[in-house]
Structure 1
């Protein structure tokens, strides 16, 4: 089986909070190929969370951009963890696997790149395992100017008329597409242009089989353990 397994939002499954250090730790122990997290630049700090509001998976309420530093720092996930920071995730993951960092809000690329560069300088390690992705292609273009060597994943929620053409100007590493808008023709176009095809978010065996059949390279899944069991069964 050729599909890489990327732990979507840290790979929460049904029992751990998404984008939590606990979920990421379990995913690292699963043998998955990579971890995906979501980052917001708020109050001069890089917080790891998906939604644009507090409340669904955290304590507190309100749009993130209207929250104070105190509100953000006091928010708690269901397991009692505070919102992780990008620095904490970088330290936890290290270079154990791929790390896909999705930028959620505008004007975050500079802070993310600075943090990555500081991490590289501190550890003496590499950024080869890092992929920076976003639906905001302006942020990816900014990242390309700041750190051209960093891998970029172009997020697409639809199947454009020109397929993956937008990824060319961004010199992308991958096109990360929604499985609902994913066809063999789209996948073939992505590969013809020299990019990897990663697909979000697939949580069931029939979906994993379909994505493998159309030629996808990696799948983002919430259920890492189930996927790894599926892959072992397929390979046995």
Structure 2
């Protein structure tokens, strides 16, 4: 079962920072999940819709200069997607979750540049709750693996996943059913589950045959899975 470091080793270090990513690699995570918003013509690795320093303004309404001002714990900053991919440098897989993107074509160009420099294309997995983004990527000819994020047990899983030729489906642990896993596997999809830190959940998800989990504590998840 694959262990994805959810926003890096975010249970111990500031989430979605280069520090959290580096420690996820040191903790033998199979992959790192990170979140991306577009601000002006740049793509920043950040999860929430707001930044505490500018709590009355949505992140995509800020300027690049404002985002660059932000200082996080452990002397970290909000990295760009290009910075994050360069730092990870293909050492583990990377799941880029798209939050709010104004220009998918510009995003593709940033990722293509990273692929030319440091990041093997086969190490990338692009996911989103916004399935329109996935459809655009499927039509872009990029050929990166796509992951469909869902917070439900979808009635139309087969139709939706086939329409975008996705590689994986990412379920909320709270709504996953064994039947969903069986159907996804029949469709040839990988099943990844978020966000899983409890040992009891790791146990039954492994028993159910999921392909991977997203965890805030990748070292703990790895240690528990390996002793099962």
- Give the alignment's TM-score, normalised by structure 2: 0.94
Per-residue CA deviations over 1:137-180 (Å, capped at 9, x if unaligned) read: 11011111223411000001101223343111110010011111
Q: Distance in 1 between matches of 2:194 and 2:110?
A: 26
Please state how far the C-alpha of 1:108 moved relative to its aligned partner.
4.3
Paired residue secondary structure (2:192) = strand
Q: Distance in 1 between matches of 2:193 and 2:115?
A: 28
1:107 pairs, out of 82, 94, 102, with 102
Residue 179 to residue 165, structure 1, CA distance change in 2 (3 Å) = farther
1:192 pairs, out of 167, 181, 186, with 186
1:89 pairs, out of 77, 84, 89, with 84
Unaligned runs of 5+ in 1: none
Aligned equivalent of 1:231: 225
Please state how far the C-alpha of 1:232 moved relative to its aligned partner.
3.0
Per-residue CA deviations over 1:18-70 (Å, capped at 9, x if unaligned) read: 10111100001111110000001111111000001111xxx442211221222
Unaligned runs of 5+ in 2: none
Paired residue secondary structure (2:76) = coil
Q: Distance in 2 between matches of 1:144 and 1:70?
A: 32
1:63 equivalenced with 2:63 (yes/no): no
Please state how far the C-alpha of 1:115 moved relative to its aligned partner.
1.0
Contact persistence 1:164–1:186 (CA under 8 A): no
Q: Distance in 2 between matches of 1:98 and 1:73?
A: 26
Q: Distance in 1 between matches of 2:51 and 2:172?
A: 24
Q: Distance in 2 between matches of 1:142 and 1:25?
A: 31
Aligned residues: 227
Q: Distance in 1 between matches of 2:91 and 2:115?
A: 15
Q: Distance in 1 between matches of 2:115 and 2:51?
A: 31
Aligned equivalent of 1:26: 23
Q: Distance in 2 between matches of 1:80 and 1:226?
A: 25
Please state how far the C-alpha of 1:12 moved relative to its aligned partner.
1.1
1:43 equivalenced with 2:37 (yes/no): no
Give RMSD over aligned pairs.
1.4
Aligned equivalent of 1:52: 49
Matches within 5 A, 1:86-165: 86-123=81-118, 126-165=120-159
